[in-house]
Structures are given as structure tokens and as C-alpha cells.
Amino acid sequence: MVDLDIKGFFDNINHDLMMKALRHYCKDEWVAMYVSRWLKAGIMAEGEFVRTSAGTPQGGVVSPLLANLYLHVAFDEWMKRFHPEKPFERYADDVVIHCKTEKQAQFMPRQISQRMRVCHLELHPVKTKIVNLRGWSETKYTRKYDFLGFTIKASMQTIKGRGMLLPGTFVSIKSKTAILGKFRELAIHKWRKPIQEIARRLNPVVRGLLNYYHKLRGESMREVWNQLNHRLLKWVKWEKGLYKMAAVRWLKRQYKSSPGLFAHWKLVQP
């Protein structure tokens, strides 16, 4: 398979091609007028006004929609027309293409690179790579890739009593680092609130993580939930003025009296 990365995608979207794609799917001229004005409005960089001749500002409310429209024409429709036998997944500018043979995997980046140049885009020469999740190949390729917060990599799995090398899905190290960084920024141990209020504020975040990362395999999230419990323990020590073991006992009593207080306690007990 091929893991594609488009170099500076949001900064290099061609305005003329963007407007051509927009007018193809949207016949309302007032929409085209406002999008055109927005693309050419320019940006403030370090206190100075800079005109924009290409690209769509990252963080802009319309940018994700326009970026998807651009690649729908530049990539999706092109693949359906010229390579319909090769399935692919795309989310914004993250693209994965499945190939049946090593030769196909070597051929596709060259073809796509030519297509991207026509659309004023460029594949990243380093981040675009061939990935071999299973099987033998003449050339040694990387055995994993990241996609939408997960790492997909070759792992040994037992099927009907036989060990087989198959693709497995795990929470990526980058995602776990970002989540732990978010918990650290919250500085939970400094919140001077009852534990019920802390649970009320944290649970929407925790449920969102559970709903996303535990749909497949959540074992690799155990480290995250242990770290969250550690931060709750630190809150107990600060708020109640207790030493470690007394704080542990206090938190365990909260779990026994209300095991569903924190959404992640159903997976990892304090």
C-alpha cells in the first residue's frame, strides 16, 4: 500500500482551479463571489498585510470544505476514472491507497505525482512512502503508518490456532502524547472544586476519547487512563492534605461508593 502526504497542501491550493471546481458543483454565483473574495482577502503575518495568491487559510471556517472539494476533483474522481481497481481512503489530505503487488505500490506514487503537478500540488518526497503490512517483498519497506490518530502496523495474531502476520490497529504514540499533554494543561490538581464537579467537567472529554479510540482496540489507552487517575490522586493530596497512601484509600472509597463517577473508571480503577 501507499501512504501519501501532500506537501503544504492548504498553502498551495490553486485559486483558479478551486473556483472552477466550486462552480461545477455549485451554480449560485453569489456563493462563488464570496468564496473568491475570501480566498483573495489576504492575511496578517507578524503585523503586516500579505496578499494571498494561492492556498486557503488553515483554521478558516470554510477551508476544510474547500480543501475537500479540491481533492475530490484532483484526486478522488481521477482515481475512479483511471485506477478504479485500487481502493483508497482519504480524509482531507491524508490518503492511503491499497495495492495488490509491490510493482503497483511503486508505480502509483509516480502516477499520482504527475497528477498532483497538474493540480499545482506536490507529494512530500520523504513522508510519502510504501508500507508493507503483510507478505514478502524484494525491497524492505516500513511496516506501519499513522492514519487519523491510529497506528496501523503488522502484528502477530492467532487465527484458528495459527499465528499469522496481519494488520492491527493501535492508538498512535502521537495521539497519546497529545492527550496526556491536554490533561497536563488542565492542571486538575489545582481545581478547588468537589470531586463531583471535577467529574462533571472531565467526563465529556473522557467520553469523547472513549467513543473514538475504543471503537477498535483500546488496550493501548490504558496508559492514558492510568495517568488520569494519577492526576486525580494528586488532586486528592492537594485538596484533602493527605499523604499518598491515605489519598489512595480516599479515592478508592469514592470508586466503591460511585464506580461510574468518572467515565474511564469502568476500564481502569483508581
In a domain, 160, yes or no: no
* 1, 130 contact by CB (below 8 A): yes
Task: List residues bridging with 49 in a β-sheet.
Answer: 44
> Residue 161, by phi and psi: left (phi above 0), alpha (psi -120 to 50) or beta?
left
The tally of domains found in the chain comes to: 2
In a domain, 37, yes or no: yes
In a domain, 138, yes or no: no
Q: Do both 122 and 182 map to the same domain?
A: no
Is 70 strand, coil or helix?
helix
Q: What is the pLDDT of residue 222?
A: 92
Question: In degrees, to the nearest 5, what angle opens at C-alpha 12 toward C-alphas 9 and 16?
Answer: 125
In a domain, 135, yes or no: no
Q: What is the pLDDT of residue 217?
A: 74
CATH number of domain containing 120: 3.30.70
Task: Give pLDDT tens digits for 9-25.
Answer: 988 999 999 999 999 99
In a domain, 154, yes or no: no
The owner of cell 467513543 is 211
Q: Do both 189 and 108 map to the same domain?
A: no
Q: Do both 118 and 40 map to the same domain?
A: yes
Residues of the chain with pLDDT under 50: none
Range of the domain at 123: 2-130
d(CA 55, CA 63): 9
In a domain, 148, yes or no: no
d(CA 50, CA 78): 33
Task: List residues bridging with 166 in a β-sheet.
Answer: 155
**C-alpha 141: how far from chain center:** 23
Among candidate residues 95, 130, 165, the one where a domain is terminated: 130
Q: Do both 74 and 180 map to the same domain?
A: no
> Comparing C-alpha atoms, which of 100, 77, 76, 101 is closest to residue 89?
76
> Comparing C-alpha atoms, which of 45, 39, 83 is closest to residue 63?
39
Q: Do both 25 and 112 map to the same domain?
A: yes
Q: Do both 114 and 14 map to the same domain?
A: yes
In a domain, 74, yes or no: yes
Q: What is the pLDDT of residue 71?
A: 96
Among candidate residues 105, 130, 155, the one where a domain is terminated: 130
Q: Do both 97 and 33 map to the same domain?
A: yes
> Comparing C-alpha atoms, which of 85, 107, 87 is closest to residue 97?
87
Q: Do both 120 and 191 map to the same domain?
A: no
**Residue 247, burial from CB neighbour count under 10 angstroms (0-12, 13-18, 19+):** buried
Q: What is the pLDDT of residue 55?
A: 87
Task: Give pLDDT tens digits for 212-259.
Answer: 999 877 788 999 999 999 999 999 999 999 999 999 999 999 999 999
Q: Do both 122 and 189 map to the same domain?
A: no
Among candidate residues 108, 130, 152, the one where a domain is terminated: 130
In a domain, 91, yes or no: yes
